[in-house]
Amino acid sequence: AIQACEASADFGGGVALLQQMKDQSLAPDIHIYNALLGLCASGAHFEWALALHREMKEQYSLQPDVSTYRSVIQACCQKDQWQWALNIYQEMYNAQVQPCLATYDALISACQRAGAEAAEWEQRFVALRQ
């Protein structure tokens, strides 16, 4: 069912399915969260992405993977929330999860849109990669 929401870009339906799972005391797995986070990235729902990212770790002890981090970073970058994106990238780096090309692309695009503010951000981003 979550794949149907993902295929049709139905963010509200995905959130409703997650709530139904919780109501039935079913623990969502990483695939459910990654599908929802993909919907967050597609719809630029960065606040939801951050909340879901936190929830999966704190309530369900799930370890984010490259798809998790990529989607959260993309959602943040699409709303020009580059500082949040950098924080998530820092967490990704600390967790020793190797970023994919799409992650770097989102970060670089956000940096370019940030303009003058991006100088500090870019320096921190480069420092993290080393």
pLDDT 10s digits, 41-84: 988 899 999 999 999 999 999 999 999 999 999 999 889 898 89
The answer to whether 110 and 82 are in contact (CB under 8 A) is yes
| Helix H or strand E segment including 45 | none
> Mean pLDDT for the chain?
87
Token pair 């999860």: residue: 97
- What pLDDT digit, counting tens, does each position of 20-33 carry? 999 999 999 999 99
pLDDT at 58: 97
Domain coordinates in residue numbering, the chain: 2-129
Residues 6 or more apart whose CB falls under 8 angstroms from that of 85 comprise 73, 76, 77, 106, 107, 110
CATH, domain range 2-129: 1.25.40.10
